[in-house]
Structure 1
Amino acid sequence: MNDFSTLALRREIIESATARGFERMTPVQAQTLPAILTGDDVLGQAETGSGKTAAFGFGLLNKLAVERAETQALVLCPTRELADQVGQALRQFAATIANVKLMTLCGGTPMRAQVNSLAQPPHIVVGTPGRVLAHLRRESLHTHALQTLVLDEADRMLDMGFIDDIEAIVGCLPDERQTLLFSATWPDAIREVSTRLQRNPKQITASADRQPLRITQIFHQVDDADKLVALEQVLADTQQRHKAFTQALVFCNRRDDVDRVCAHLNKRGVAALALHGDREQRERDEVLLRFANQSCAVLVATDVAARGLDIASLPLVVSVDLARDIDTHTHRIGRTGRAGEAGRAVSFCTPRERDRAERIAAAGGFRLNWSRWPETQASARAQPPMATLVVQGGRRDKLRPGDILGALTGEGGLTGDDVGKIEITTVRSYVAVARAKAVPARDRLRQAGIKKRRFRVGVLDD
């Protein structure tokens, strides 16, 4: 049986798996966890959504000595967004183990604040290579007690040019350690890195144990000058199909095109947000949070910026610019049709790009479905049902989700149905509330406070 109880896992981790609804192991967990638990290095091929975070997370937590105030595990990720996602997952996995301290170390956060926090070493560090290396060089991060190194989405890190930073980081780590390397693909560069960083790794290829993808792929031949009109029509057609608020993820290849498309949609009454590398890290974090909160209808992004984005129900993905290769195309369309739901992936293709589209289809093993982009008299206007409040107080102020929910409901005037996701960071808290009640909710929190304390509160969508 693919049951976690059949493995030599500590009781708290099995309780965590049960609490999170993990009824049985996914293929990647069933194949990698036995090797991880016996201390072997692992070279694992697994896609996003396959359950690999739980595989390496349960493994590193299983041998964590909480009584030792030392950094014992390091997880490297290619982007801040993925690092945050992995960090949140590990915190949830560790919820049943008392006093586990975890830190994310990424750019976009002041070094001094991180240095101060590292004065009390975390048991687990999740971060991007550049920022982790910066702390190692200034000796604010100590890794003499490190037991486990994880490289998550290693192929993406190599694509982004992080190999020198990774090798420099490894040079600061103990030779006696376990190294777990997970990658969606195994190009020669990954195998070469594995040879240098790992010792006789168990090589495991696992596919995600999930329902078959129900994605309808559609290709429209569109001239560059017509792309914005075609995008409006595709969005309007989707709204008509669902007869309710729906969200869409739109990909562009260039940052300036992301801004251009986003500005056009907002002028046309579609609540859109832009996500790319030129934005400050806090802005990028808040854009992703607002999209996850249903506080915007359309997210327009570059591929790197959208890495790690995981929205459970997303009916539509549009590539305004055709993906450059099959891996990028696969990553894009994989954002829809998740959890067994149906999804549509629409790709625009100029006449000069037809050959590239044919190559992508051939490499992906699917047939091109060409059609005329829809023409409808309906408007693409879409205002989201939720707005996001930002409270200038967080974990540092001992705030918990229940504190904020309690302040908003009851005498606060909102019902439980009016409140959506609540996310608390070190210094800020974000809460999704029904858009029509956002301003009264803001005013209520400003006047009555939370836990008898006053905090600055604003509507993030302003």
Structure 2
Amino acid sequence: MPDRPDALPAQPAATGPAFAELQLAPEVLTNLNQLGYLTMTPIQAASLPLALGGHDLIAQARTGSGKTAAFALPLLGKLNARSLRVQALVLCPTRELADQVAQEVRRLARAAENIKVLTLCGGSPIKPQLTSLEHGAHVVVGTPGRLLDHLQRGSLALSALNTLVLDEADRMLDMGFFDDIVAVAEACPPHRQTLLFSATWPEGVERLATRFLRQPRTVKLDLQHDGSKIRQLFFEVEHPQRLAAVVRLLQHFRPQSTLAFCNTRQQCRDLVECLQAAGIDALALHGELEQRERDQVLVRFANRSCPVLVATDVAARGLDIAGLEAVINVDVTPDPEIHTHRIGRTGRADASGLALSLASSADRRRVAAIAQTLGFEPEWQPLDALTPDEAPLLAPMATLQILGGKKDKIRPGDVLGALTGEAGFSREQIGKIQVTDAYTYVAVSRDIFDLALRRIAEGRIKGRRVKVRAV
């Protein structure tokens, strides 16, 4: 984002107690250091000593606060690597969050040898999952419905389980998973450690905690966002002008990664159409998309192949995108908790962020109520004072989809080697590489996209030709 008088605030230095203060094995501390885990976030500092001590835990923490490490380190510390039986189970609300959690658990497990982490989620074929379960796993991460399916089939055995994690419990309940969660938890051994993480505390979460946790310790952090990290700006705009106002905001601030929230699917579609007409790359994420379409949208946004993602609150549940520069509220929500969740997707870790909200004159009272509840003074700016740059806002990367994935034993290193070896591209021209069961997605610099597509089609990966296309 260009240096402007109203640009983002400077990034604060990381603070917090060191991981070395915990009772962790030397090889675990070495791995944490290599991964850049030097100091603990507030949720890690508050919960890790309790969880590592074997206590059941209730922790209120939002996505992006570092909670994955807060439950992954304790569950990894109890694994018997020699036994390929499921010893830890993590329930997540969405496939995207489950994939992110599994990936982070694998990174944190590098200190131990051959720890197998398996994801079991709906929207993926069940047969490869059945085969993977036959070969065994130490940790399973999945969505409640698919986990219950495997339990009913008898393909998931939990007799060796010692840790159960309920991640984003409030979101799972919002999505109607209460009965599934209960069924999965009842299938677990009674003598286990249970760690429950939830950003909010509705009645359903209280019922789960009372039913399945034993003398839990509670960690409740201030869920307000650091005002020095997220700058909130409000603009008064009447309804008919909102879509054009979003264009103006993006043309002025020109963030490389923006999540725009709409209240309806139709508004998502209308806004994407308006943005594209203005030369701004944008994709929509809403409930009418098939799983394959949703996966491709999220891959493109996460790997910097599209600068703007327009989504409804429901479609964005469990979504965690690293390095999100800005959030735009196309409509102000009347719920302070939803407002907090929306803007909290930017300004994560040590990064800074921008939260831009559009509100009509009739919405000013609603904004005042949110500000009073959350304890901040709303900063209003006139939309006419912005100076839009009408040059196209395009992503720096573009995405290739290779037909072939984990089932074909393709690894990110194989794709990177093919592109930087025979194809002759530099490492800097290659972005994020994501390997799923059936496909591999690779981001490449926009200026080499056509050539990279041709080189992969003409070359070989793992000694064989592959089919590749643009997405």
Match of 1:128 among 134, 137, 143: 143
Question: In structure 2, how many angstroms separate the alpha carbons of the residues matched to 1:440 and 1:371?
Answer: 45
**Residue 288 of structure 2 is aligned to residue 278 of structure 1:** yes
Partner SS state of residue 379, structure 1? coil
Q: Where does residue 353 of structure 2 map in the other structure?
A: 343
Q: Where does residue 442 of structure 1 map in the other structure?
A: 453
Q: 1:355 to 1:451 in 2, by over 3 A?
A: same
Following superposition, the deviation at residue 151 of structure 1 comes to: 0.6
Cα deviations by residue, 1:283-322 (Å, 9 ceiling, x for unpaired): 2222122112110121101123223433443332111121
Following superposition, the deviation at residue 331 of structure 1 comes to: 1.3
Following superposition, the deviation at residue 342 of structure 1 comes to: 3.8
Following superposition, the deviation at residue 161 of structure 1 comes to: 2.5
Question: In structure 2, how many angstroms separate the alpha carbons of the residues matched to 1:157 and 1:324?
Answer: 22
Match of 1:106 among 106, 110, 121: 121
Q: Where does residue 154 of structure 1 map in the other structure?
A: 169
Q: 1:42 to 1:8 in 2, by over 3 A?
A: same
**Residue 359 of structure 2 is aligned to residue 352 of structure 1:** no
Q: Where does residue 462 of structure 2 map in the other structure?
A: 451
**Residue 309 of structure 2 is aligned to residue 299 of structure 1:** yes
Question: In structure 1, how many angstroms separate the alpha carbons of the residues matched to 2:224 and 2:69?
Answer: 13
Question: In structure 1, how many angstroms separate the alpha carbons of the residues matched to 2:432 and 2:77?
Answer: 30
Q: 1:212 to 1:363 in 2, by over 3 A?
A: closer
Report if aligned partners of 2:435, 2:441 keep a CA contact under 8 Å in 1. yes
Cα deviations by residue, 1:143-164 (Å, 9 ceiling, x for unpaired): 1111110011112222322222
Q: 1:345 to 1:81 in 2, by over 3 A?
A: same
Q: Where does residue 258 of structure 1 map in the other structure?
A: 268
Following superposition, the deviation at residue 18 of structure 1 comes to: 1.7
Q: Where does residue 242 of structure 1 map in the other structure?
A: none
Cα deviations by residue, 1:28-51 (Å, 9 ceiling, x for unpaired): 223322222232111112232322
Question: In structure 2, how many angstroms separate the alpha carbons of the residues matched to 1:4 and 1:317?
Answer: 31
Report if aligned partners of 1:85, 1:308 keep a CA contact under 8 Å in 2. no
Following superposition, the deviation at residue 263 of structure 1 comes to: 2.1
Following superposition, the deviation at residue 207 of structure 1 comes to: 5.5
Cα deviations by residue, 1:364-416 (Å, 9 ceiling, x for unpaired): 11122233224546326311111111112223323222221221124313112
Following superposition, the deviation at residue 131 of structure 1 comes to: 1.5
Q: 1:369 to 1:43 in 2, by over 3 A?
A: same
Cα deviations by residue, 1:204-239 (Å, 9 ceiling, x for unpaired): 224599976422212222222111111111111113
Cα RMSD, aligned residues only:
2.2
Report if aligned partners of 1:387, 1:435 keep a CA contact under 8 Å in 2. yes
**Residue 51 of structure 2 is aligned to residue 36 of structure 1:** yes
Report if aligned partners of 1:27, 1:207 keep a CA contact under 8 Å in 2. no
Q: Which amino acid aligns with 2:450?
A: V
Aligned pairs for 1:5-154 (under 5 A) are 5-154=20-169
Question: In structure 2, how many angstroms separate the alpha carbons of the residues matched to 1:370 and 1:37?
Answer: 46
Question: In structure 2, how many angstroms separate the alpha carbons of the residues matched to 1:238 and 1:25?
Answer: 32
Q: Could you tell which deviates more after superposition, 209-218 or 422-431?
A: 209-218
Aligned pairs for 1:389-400 (under 5 A) are 389-400=400-411
Question: In structure 1, how many angstroms separate the alpha carbons of the residues matched to 2:401 and 2:283?
Answer: 17
Q: Taking every aligned residue pair, what percent have the same amino acid on both sides?
A: 49
Aligned pairs for 1:174-213 (under 5 A) are 174-206=189-221, 213=228
Report if aligned partners of 1:447, 1:454 keep a CA contact under 8 Å in 2. yes
Normalised to the residue count of structure 1, the TM-score between the two structures is: 0.92
Following superposition, the deviation at residue 456 of structure 1 comes to: 0.8
Partner SS state of residue 174, structure 1? coil
Report if aligned partners of 1:316, 1:344 keep a CA contact under 8 Å in 2. yes
Q: Could you tell which deviates more after superposition, 396-405 or 172-181?
A: 396-405
Q: Could you tell which deviates more after superposition, 91-100 or 436-445?
A: 91-100
Q: How many residues align?
A: 455
Q: Please, which runs of 5 or more residues in structure 2 have no aligned partner? A: 1-15
Partner SS state of residue 75, structure 1? strand
Report if aligned partners of 1:270, 1:382 keep a CA contact under 8 Å in 2. yes
Aligned pairs for 1:341-420 (under 5 A) are 341-374=351-384, 376=387, 378-379=389-390, 381-420=392-431
Report if aligned partners of 1:385, 1:434 keep a CA contact under 8 Å in 2. yes
Q: Which amino acid aligns with 1:389?
A: L
